[in-house]
Amino acid sequence: MSKKDSRHEKKRNMKELLATMFKIGCIGFGGGTALVPVIESEVVYEKKLIDKEEYTKDVIVANITPGALPVEVAAGVGRKVCGMPGMLLSALLMGMPGTFLTVLLLILINSSGIRVLQQILFASAGVTAYIIYMLIMYAKGTWRECRESGTAKSGMFFMFLVFFLTSGKELFQLFGINRTPIFDISTIDVLCAAFFIIFYTGGVFRWGRVIVSIIITVLYCLCVGKMHLISSTVVLGIIRLTMVVLSIYGLRTGIEGKIPFSWKSLKRLIREEVCWAAMFFLLSLPALLCFGKTLAFAGRGLISAVISFGGGDAYLAVANGMFVNTGMIGYDDFYFKIASVANGLPGSILCKILAGVGYILGCQSGGVWCGIFVALCGFACSIAASGGTFSAVVYIYERFENLQIFQVLQTYMRPIVAGLLLTVCTSMIYQNMSIACWYFWPLVSMVLLTFGIFLLNVFWRRRGVVRPLQMVLFSAAASLIVCNVFASIP
C-alpha cells in the first residue's frame, strides 16, 4: 500500500471511528456496562475497526479500572484504530452528547427544560428496549461461544452467578418487593469474588477447590451484601485476606511465561498521560479565568472519578460525599436538578454529574456563561481521569496478559460481563416501568410497549431489513408516538 493510500485509509478510519463514537454517545441510555454490546456491534461487526480479541481486552481493562466505562472503552478502541488522536477524540465524543444535553436542560430547567426532558424520556423508552435487545443478544452470543470453546458449563456458571449476586435490588424493584435483598453486591465486589474463583481454581474445576472457593465467596457476599448478615469488619478483613492468600497460592501455577518490559511502551504511556493532562488543562482554562474555585472543584472532580468503582449509583454516592456533604453544592440542586436530569439522558453518569455540578457552581458565581465554562471543566475532569487511569491500567495489563492465568481470565471475562448485563436488563425494564409510575399510567402499558419494541428489533435483525441506526431511530420514534398518545389521554 502506498503512503497516499495509507493516509487515505487512516482518514477514512478516523471519520468512521468518530462518527461511531458520537452515535453511540447519543443513544447510550443505560450507560456503563449496558453499552458494551452496543459498542461491540458497531466497532467489531458493523465497521470492523478492530477484532474481537482486541475489544475483549479493552472491556476487561475498563471493568477493572475506576471511571466512566464507556469513555474508557472508547479510548481503548480509538487508541488501536488511530493512535493518540483517536484515543482522545473517541473518549470526548463518547461523553459529549449526554454532557451537552445535561447542561442544556439545566439552562432551560426553569422554562421549557421539563417539557424537553419529558420528550427525551418518552423516546428513551424505545431506545431502552433496543438496548435490552442488544444485551440479550450479547448473553446469547456468550452462551454460543462458551459452547463452541468447550467451556459451556463453567461459563454459564459464572454468568448466572454474577446475575444472582448483583440483581437482588433490581428484581425486588421489578416485582414490587419492599425488602432488602440478601444478595445485592456491587460490581467491584462481584469482580473481586469472580477473580478470586478464577485465580484460585486456575479455571480448572477440581471439586476440592471449587467447594472451598464457593464457601469463601458465599461468606464474602454475606459480608458485603445489602443486608450485611455478617456485619463484623474483622470477619470481612479475615475473609479478604484469605481470598488474597488463596489467589496467590492458585496463581503459582498460572504465572508461567515471561513478563516483558519495553522502554517504548513506557514512553508511550508517558506521552498518553501528558496528552490527557494537556486536554484537561485546555478544556479547563476558560473556567480558571472566570471562576475562583476552579482548582478546588477540579481537584475533587478528578479524585471522585479516580475512586469511582461500581457504575452510576456508586458515583452518585461518591459525588454526594465530595460536593454535597462538604457544602460545595446544595442537596436540592444535586438531587432534584442534576441527578434527575442526568438519569434521563444518554451517556456516562460520571460525565453528566460532574458537568452538572460545574454548571450549577459556575452559574451561581458568574451567570450562564461561567456555568458553561465550569461545566466544561467538570467534563474534562471525567474524561481525563477516566482516560488517564485507563492508559495506566492498560500498560500494566499488557505486561501480564501473556501469562497463563490471564488467558484464563480472558476466557471467563465475557460470561462475567454477560451476567452484569442481565442485571442491567432488569434495571432497564424497571426504568421503563418507572415512566408509567411518574405519569400515572398502567404499568402493563409500558411493559407491553417495551416487549413490543423488543420483538420488533428481533424481527428486523432476523430479516436483516434495517441497519442498527435505523433500528434505534424506529424504536425511539415508536415509543415517542405511543407515550405522547398515553400522555394525551385524560
User: pLDDT digit string (tens) for 72-103?
Assistant: 999 999 999 999 999 999 999 999 999 999 99
Say if residue 5's pLDDT is above 70.
no
Mean pLDDT value across the chain: 86
DSSP 258: -
- SS3 category, 84: helix
The string of DSSP codes covering 13-70 is HHHHHHHHHHHHHHH-TT-GGGGHHHHHIIIIIIS--S-HHHHHHHHHHHHTSSS-HH
pLDDT of residue 266: 86
User: Who has greater pLDDT, 159 or 401?
Assistant: 159
For residues 124-141, one letter each, b for 16 or more C-beta atoms within 10 angstroms of the residue's C-beta and e for the rest, the string is bbbbbbbbbbbbbebbee
Q: Where are the domains of the chain?
A: 15-150+405-472, 154-258, 263-397
Q: What is the spatial distance between Cα 376 and Cα 361, in angstroms, rounded to a whole number?
A: 12
The DSSP-derived string for 438-478 is: HTT--HHHHHHHHHHHHHHHHHHHHHT-S-HHHHHHHHHHH
The predicted pLDDT at position 79 comes to: 93
Position 311 confidence tier, pLDDT thresholds 50, 70, 90: low
Residue of higher predicted confidence among 281 and 46: 281
Question: Which stretch of DSSP H or E encloses residue 129?
Answer: helix 113-149
Candidates 122, 483, 72; CA nearest to 305 is 72
Question: Looking at the predicted structure, is the pLDDT value of residue 318 above 60?
Answer: yes
Rounded Cα–Cα distance for residues 419 and 164 (Å)? 8
Q: Decide if pLDDT at 482 tops 90.
A: yes
Distance CA 129, CA 429 (A): 8
Distance CA 459, CA 464 (A): 8
C-alpha cell at 32: 456503563
Residue 310 has pLDDT above 70, yes or no: no
Residue 258 has a pLDDT of 56
Q: How far apart are CA 366 and CA 267, in angstroms?
A: 41
Least confidently predicted of 18-22, 253-257, 398-402? 253-257
Range with the poorest average pLDDT among 12-21, 169-178, 197-206, 247-256 = 247-256
- Indicate whether 297 pLDDT > 90: yes
* Structure confidence at residue 169 (pLDDT): 82
Whether pLDDT at 322 is above 60 = yes
**Reported confidence tier of residue 270, pLDDT bands at 50, 70, 90:** very high
Please check the confidence at residue 254 and state whether its pLDDT lies above 60.
no
Say what the pLDDT of residue 256 is.
54
Q: Over 90: is that where the pLDDT of 115 sits?
A: no
pLDDT tops 90 at residue 167: no
State the average pLDDT over residues 312-341: 81
- pLDDT tens-place string over residues 366-378: 889 999 999 999 9
What mean pLDDT do residues 291-309 have? 89
Question: pLDDT: is 220 or 337 the higher one?
Answer: 220
40 contacts 417 by C-beta, under 8 angstroms: no
In DSSP notation, 385-436 reads HHHHHHHHHHHHHHHHTTSHHHHHHHHHHHHHHHHHHHHHHHHHHHHHHHHH
Considering only residues 403 and 322, tell me which one the structure prediction assigns the higher pLDDT. 322
- pLDDT for 113: 57
Higher-pLDDT residue of 211, 10: 211
Residue 1 has pLDDT above 60, yes or no: no
pLDDT at 286: 95
- In percent, how much of the chain has pLDDT > 70? 92
Dihedral sign of CA atoms 239, 241, 247, 250 in order: negative
Count of alpha carbons within 13 angstroms of residue 425, beta-carbon side = 19
Question: Amino acid identity, residue 329?
Answer: I
User: Which of 30-39, 305-314, 390-399 comes out lowest in average pLDDT?
Assistant: 305-314
Q: What is the mean pLDDT of residues 458-469?
A: 76
The per-residue pLDDT for 74 is: 95
